[in-house]
Every structure is written in C-alpha cells, then in structure tokens.
Structure 1
Amino acid sequence: MDHARRLERWIDDRGGLAHATDVREAGFGRRAVDGAGARDLVRRLRRVWLYTRKAEAEELAAVRVGGRVACISAARRAGLWVPDAPGAHVAVPPNASRLESSGLILHWSIGPAPESSRTVVESLVNMLFHVAGCQPRAEALSVWESALNRGLTTVEVLRAVTWRSASARALVDAAVILSDSGLETFVVHRLRPLGLRMTQQAVLDGRPVDLLIGERLVVQIDGKHHLDPVQRRRDIAGDARLVLRGYTVLRFDYAQILFAWPTVLDAIVTAVAQGRHRPA
C-alpha cells in the first residue's frame, strides 16, 4: 500500500478527520499528504485539518467555523439521553471569526475545561456546561442525569468544577438532591416551617405514599423512574384508588419540585386552606 492510501486509511480509522499536527506526528510527510490530495483521497479544511470521504458532516461543519461539536450534539455522540431537537450545536470561542454558520446552533462561550486545538468534539464537562446554558432546566437535568447514570462522571466531580454559570450551578445542586438526600426529604425540609403534621412513607391502601399531610392530603413525588410507562400507569391507578377512599392526591414531578417550587408550594398550601388534609 502506497503512502497516500496509508494516510487515507489512517484518517479513516480516526473517523475521517484529523489535525495536520497529528498526521505529521504519525509519520506522514508532505509527500504523502500532497499525493493523497492530488488523488482526491484526502482533502484539506482550514489548512490544519485533513479529512476523507468517511468524515461526518457535523464534524466538518464544526471545523469549518473554527469550533467543535458541542452541547446536545456532543451528548448524543456520548450515548446520553438528549431532547429531540434539530440543528448541530457547535462551540466557538467568543473572538472567533463570524463565518457562514447556516444550520448550526453556535455557542459563543468557553467551558470550564481547557480543550486541545486538535479535538473536534468537546469534553464531557464542557458539554454539560453548554447544555446547562442552552436547554430548558428539566431537559438539561435529564442530560446531566444520563451522564451520571452511565457512570461518565460523579456528583463529587461536578461539585468540584468551577462552573462560572448560574444555570450549571443550579443543575449541580439539583443533581446533589436527586442523588443524596432525595426529593422526598427536599420537599419535607421546604414544608417544615409551615408547622404541618407530616408522615413520610405512610401506608395507605396497602402501599406507601411519599408524604401524608394531616390525615387526608397525599403528596406524591415522581422521580426519574416514574417516566417508565408501566410505572406511570401503576401510579395513576393508585391515585384513583386513594381518591375513591376520600384522599386528596397531589402529584408533582422532579422538574416541578426542583425548578418550580413556588407553584408546588402554592398548590399544597391551597389544599390545606381548603381543609383537604382533614377528614371530611
């Protein structure tokens, strides 16, 4: 196999895109690069990148504007859960040239982790940083939780990062709540100043409920596992049985509790004001 074909295969093995410095350090000289270019086996992009027909369009688009694949585009490549949204997300430095970026969602910001100029997909920490600033909080938290559940990072690691972003710090706090004290404890702590009589894991209708206020007001808290359709149907059936037995059931999901607490609190105190925590 001649040098041009060897270079093409070497770049193919790396996804079809390689930095010129990596090519040179791998032992391919000018003759191999020029020969591969003359035969249209390898093409050059922004002078310092070489690519083959195997290169992915999303990576080429990122390199073309001097950036790297970022945010939910990088999360999707890492096998994380991502919301179904169009467009390729690309992170570029704040001082990057304003090149044609049609079809791209640009992030003009620098994440907390330094990146090599030779990488085309941003690191996990920077990906989470951009997700936090780009996506609605509930969706962003789901991406972060996906990274934690897959073992790609830990809460301890995320807490130690200097995020420089209020949205990212809020997601760290939420991840800590979900992994450590739990949503149920979080809710009880927030309600305790009201002086209500609360019972955690009270058994009603043969099954424990998350929180019983007084004697008749049930607060159910949906964590991530409640997204499962089978579990969801079981929850609905259980709520219906409790209502038929004279209980009032308020059910909230994790996003409401973590990011819309005032609305959750308002629903609970309104139910108490209506006497729904007392027997009829």
Structure 2
Amino acid sequence: MYRQRLEEAHGVTRTSELREAGLSKYALDQAVKRGSLLRIGRGWVAVPSADPARVYAAKARLTLSCVTQAERLGLWVRESGQRHFAVPRPGSELREEGICLHYWKPVEPRMPYALEDSIINVLSHVARCQPHEDAVATWDSALNKQLVTKGQLESAALGGRARRVLRDTDRFADSGLETYVRLRLRWLPVRLRTQTWIEGRRVDFLLGERLILQIDGGTHVGVQRNKDNTHDAVLATLGFTVLRFGYAQVMHDWPETQEIIMTAIRAGLHNRR
C-alpha cells in the first residue's frame, strides 16, 4: 500500500502519508537505514531516484509553479535563468540565487503540501510574472495541448492581467513562435488567418489571399524539411508567395523580419492575382 503511495507521489511524500498507508515507524526507519528512502526535510522522504525539482520543493516547503512548472508540463516557455516557486504558507521560503518566489494568492485552492501547482494556478502566475507576449505563448501552448480549456479559464477567478492574456489566446497555435508572430502582426490592415488548410496541409499564416508565412521550429529538419520544401513549391505553382522564418528571425531579429513582410505587402503579394 505504501509503495503505491510512493508511486502516486512520484517518489516524494510526507512520512505521515506513508504511516497512513500502513508503513510502521520501524519499517520507515529501516528503509532510511538501508538507503531505499532518504529523509529530505522535516516530515518528508524520497526515493533516491526521485525528481530533483520535487525534492527541492519538499525541502524548501515550496510549490513548483509559474514558468518552471509550465516547462515541466511540456509547455512553451521562453528561456528563463530562474526557477519559479509559489510560497504556499508562512515559513516556506528559501532565498538563494536563481530562485524566484511568488506570494500571490492561488486562483484555485491549493492542496496542503502540494509540490506542484494546478495548471490554472500555473498559468495565473505566468500571466502576472511574465511579459504579455511570453505569457500568451505559454497559455496558447496549454490550450493547444488540451491541458486546460478556454471555458475553464473563463470561469476561473482570474485577475486583470490574466484576463488580458486569455483574451489574446488561440488554441490552434502550434508553437510559441506562432504566438509571437500573430500578436505582432494583428495591427496590419490585412486579413490574417492562422492554421489554414491549403493543398492538403496547414499553413501557419495566410495574409490576404496569397501571402503565406511559415514559422519553423526545431522539428523542421530532415524528412519534415523535405516535405515543407515540396509543399512550398506546390504553393508557388498555384500563385502563392511563401515566406519562411525560423526561431532567430522571430525572437532576435524581428524588426528585419517584419520589414520583409511589410515589403511583400507593399508589393501587393498578398492580393489575389
């Protein structure tokens, strides 16, 4: 029974929960003596192979949240040199370099001694902590991966910044790069459509009727790159103009990238010919 509890807790749990699951104090002490369990803080134990992030949270009496937990969930997160934790209760603090602590009240009630925040609390922290574009990219990723629905977010007691982030989300964004491009081009007096099907495949952006923007992430290599090139060629034969941009052009060289797009629009390449 206690082994199941350890498995459910991903190898990090409170000793009181193991006792409740049937592990005697003597058996617990023997497990620690053998090294099959490690005491990692007052009232906490972990298996030697436990996730270091969860071990750290238990030691410091913190909850993994914001961009740190978002990244652990596989969501798009812009590079961050810090680890972000929520402070769930008084005394749950550990001040050291590279740690960012959040004291905001959780949107959803947090389980006592939770080591990982709920997805809605995570996104709420992201909205308050990160720049707007970065937050929208993470929220888009959560919606796209179906870790949360727009309805759940709309019904949550979100603050003003989170509401503004929610307003700008698009669950069809396949990558954070697409989020940045969408937000940065929405001012254009040209119709901008996302994830549109043309000739059997989706294109990332269609401006007007004929200008296509394709945003390449890390998966656009090898066989995928060959498929992309073939599709680009087919689109060109049909009268479309395809502009393809990568990570650096979106995240580091945006003014130059935007000027290329604007030059294409000024040349009328977005209009039906």
Q: Same fold (TM over 0.5)?
A: yes
Give the CA deviation at 1:88.
2.2
Q: Is the 8 A contact 1:155 1:176 kept in 2?
A: no
155, 171, 176: which is aligned to 2:165?
Answer: 171
Give the CA deviation at 1:87.
3.1
Give the CA deviation at 1:139.
2.1
1:172-191 alignment runs, 5 A limit: 172-175=166-169
* Aligned-pair Cα RMSD in Å: 5.0
Residues 118/85 of structure 1: CA separation in 2 closer, same or farther (3 Å cut): same
Measure, in 1, the Cα distance between the counterparts of 2:17 and 2:97.
29
Q: Is the 8 A contact 2:62 2:86 kept in 1?
A: yes
Match of 1:278 in 2: none
Instruction: Tell me whether 1:38 sits opposite 2:37 in the alignment.
Output: no
- TM-score, with structure 2 as normaliser: 0.62
Which amino acid in the other structure matches residue 54 of structure 2? E
Which amino acid in the other structure matches residue 45 of structure 1? I
Measure, in 2, the Cα distance between the counterparts of 1:233 and 1:83.
28
Q: Is the 8 A contact 2:61 2:113 kept in 1?
A: no
Residues 156/221 of structure 1: CA separation in 2 closer, same or farther (3 Å cut): farther
Q: Is the 8 A contact 1:65 1:101 kept in 2?
A: no
Match of 2:237 in 1: none
Measure, in 2, the Cα distance between the counterparts of 1:91 and 1:173.
25
DSSP 3-state at the match of 1:21: helix
Match of 1:155 in 2: 150
Q: Is the 8 A contact 2:63 2:86 kept in 1?
A: yes
87, 91, 97: which is aligned to 1:92?
Answer: 87
Q: Deviation string for 1:115-140 (max 9, x for gaps)?
A: 11242111110111111122222222
Which amino acid in the other structure matches residue 48 of structure 2? R
Match of 1:82 in 2: 77
Q: Is the 8 A contact 2:66 2:125 kept in 1?
A: yes
Which amino acid in the other structure matches residue 143 of structure 1? T
Which amino acid in the other structure matches residue 163 of structure 2? R
DSSP 3-state at the match of 2:100: strand
Equivalences, count: 242
DSSP 3-state at the match of 1:72: helix
User: Larger helix proportion, structure 1 or 2?
Assistant: 1
DSSP 3-state at the match of 2:84: strand
Query: Identity across aligned pairs (percent)?
Result: 26
Instruction: Kindly name which structure, 1 or 2, has the bigger radius of gyration based on alpha carbons.
Output: 1
Q: Is the 8 A contact 1:145 1:175 kept in 2?
A: yes
- TM-score, with structure 1 as normaliser: 0.61
Structure 1 gaps, min length 5 = 1-5, 202-208, 213-217, 238-255, 257-263, 273-280
Which amino acid in the other structure matches residue 145 of structure 1? D
Which amino acid in the other structure matches residue 169 of structure 1? R
Which amino acid in the other structure matches residue 26 of structure 1? A
Match of 2:135 in 1: 140
